[in-house]
Amino acid sequence: MTYTEKILEIVKKRSSCESEFIQVVEEVLESLNIILDKYPEYEKTALLERFVEPERQIIFRVPWVDDQGNVQVNRGYRIQFNSAIGPYKGGLRFHPSVNISIVKSLAFEQILKNSLTGLPIGGGKGGSDFNPKGKSDGEIMRFCQSFMSELFKHIGQFTDVPAGDIGVGGREIGYMYGQYKKLRNASEAGVLTGKGISSGGSLVRTEATGYGLIYYVREMLASHDISLEGKRVVISGSGNVAIYACEKLQQYGAKVVAMCDSSGYIYHESGIHLDAIKKIKEVERKRISEYLAYHPEAEYHDKQNDVWNIPCDIALPCATQNDIQIENAKTLLNNGCIAVGEGANMPCTNESIAYFLDNGVLLAPAKAANAGGVATSALEMSQNSMRLSWPFEEVDKKLESIMVTIFNITKATAEEYGMPDNYVAGANIAGFLRVAKAMFEQGIV
């Protein structure tokens, strides 16, 4: 039994009910097998045993009062997974599907993603099974305040710095930041990222994950002499990541023909009009089917996952985990798809990832391709520490340069280990080595 097989056995036994967590650990360990012979000291110091076990897991009650005066109770999570290279850093997800397995899997991914940015940030993730859909502004605020009334004990600008994820955007971060400041009686802007600009947020943070994804995909295609111009693209999701991926693609002359939300998808052959999507999703907080009110010539279909049946050159899953199942992967390839960029976290199943790699589809892996969000969060932390703010162009240039560097590292690492174009392995290995070196240097802690 190899060292990685032994570790996978331990995780399967200890976390037998956590299917998403087992899924990500399996994907990462598979890539690490090839390098561990070079580092016998890692097995001697049980480095992988420590790497797959969170430093701390916090689970708490979140009671709040709805608009009818009823008391509601949700569950809150924060997984502080690894602080070897910096304070725990990662988003908060508010969605009814949130459970310990999902949060742990996202926190584990975050360790490697944050490492790839080259910035000093460790890995964490949190959230709640709270469903923000259909809630009034007052309900959202009371929930966020209650959530922070417990979370504030465990976070801090040098300890753990949360941000947004599914269901958590600028509005929610604002309410949580307000509550944190009240409880701590201190202005510690660096405790949360994704803040509004007036509250110490960074320009470009809103756009960062989507823009960063397209910078990565642009580099990946360019290394095969392919350009984004004129490409047909299908995007799943219509939230923060999807919207700004679409915006940057359109700037590069690509045509986005479909987007979706959890209820269904829209198909607009002449190209999606992003201003309508922004209005529906960022302002009105409505369903994507409303798009037809603005563009009746488009089509709406209520099976969200069928969005992958639309022929495209490039597929960008930007909604949630396990979105592209093996049947979707086969359909995409049959329809001529040449590249997939993972804007969401773990949007392709392990089976789909293997299928794409085996069939020559270029795959930009989530932990590299969507790292622009957290990288810009780290730039927000820097600006907060320096008590100044950089202009949009400056942050965007830094983001672009970070994404180009991440692409180059994932490509070079894949080549070094004899797997050219396998950016999945490149990202896993490069991300791991930086954290492993830091863990080794810091002894058994």
Binding residues for ligand 2IT (CB under 6 A)? 89-91, 110, 113, 163, 165, 193, 345, 373-374, 377
Assess 83 for contact with ligand NDP (CB under 6 A).
Answer: no
Nearer to ligand NDP, 7 or 217 (CB): 217
β pairing state of 265-267 and 160-163: unpaired
Q: Which is nearer to ligand NDP, 47 or 155 (CB)?
A: 155
Which of the following is catalytic: 89, 104, 113, 125? 125
Between CA 347 and CA 197, with CA 167 as vertex, the angle to 5 degrees is 115
Closer by beta carbon to ligand NDP, 4 or else 237 = 237
Shorter beta-carbon distance to ligand 2IT: residue 15 or 193: 193
Residue 126 binding: pick among ligand 2IT, ligand NDP, none (C-beta 5-8 Å cut-off by kind): none
CB of 201 to ligand NDP, least distance (A): 13
How many of the chain's residues bind ligand NDP (CB under 6 A)? Answer: 25
Check binding of 319 to ligand NDP (CB under 6 A).
yes
Using the rule CB under 6 A, which residue among 164, 174, 190, 341 binds ligand NDP?
164
**Which of 179, 103, 107, 106 has its CA nearest to residue 140?**
179
Taking the least distance from each CB to ligand 2IT, the nearer of 148 and 374 is: 374
Cβ at position 96, least distance to ligand NDP in Å: 9
The least CB distance from residue 371 to ligand NDP, in Å, is: 7
**Site for ligand NDP contains 241 (CB under 6 A):** yes
Q: Determine if 86 is a binding residue for ligand NDP (CB under 6 A).
A: no
Shortest separation between residue 374's beta carbon and ligand 2IT, angstroms: 4
Least Å distance, CB 154 to ligand 2IT, is 15
In the stretch 339-378, what mask flags binding to ligand NDP with x, by CB under 6 A? ----xxx------------------------x--x-----
Q: Near ligand NDP by CB under 6 A, which window of 48-56, 291-299, 312-320, 428-436?
A: 312-320
Decide if residue 280 touches ligand NDP (CB under 6 A): no
CB nearer to ligand 2IT: pick between 11 and 318: 318
Looking at the Cβ atoms of 47 and 373, the one nearer to ligand NDP is 373
Give yes or no for residue 385 binding ligand NDP (CB under 6 A).
no
Q: Return the residue nearest ligand 2IT (CB atom).
A: 91
By CB under 6 A, residue 114 contacts ligand NDP: no
**C-alpha radius of gyration, the chain, whole number:** 21
Residue 38 annotated in active site: no
Q: How far is the CB of 126 from ligand NDP (least distance, A)?
A: 12
The C-alpha atoms of residue 371 and residue 382 are separated, in whole angstroms, by 17
Q: Which among 130, 135, 146, 58 is positioned nearest to 97, based on CA atoms?
A: 130
Q: Which residues are catalytic?
A: 125
Binding residues for ligand NDP, per CB under 6 A? 95, 97, 164-167, 209, 237-242, 261-263, 304, 318-320, 343-345, 370, 373
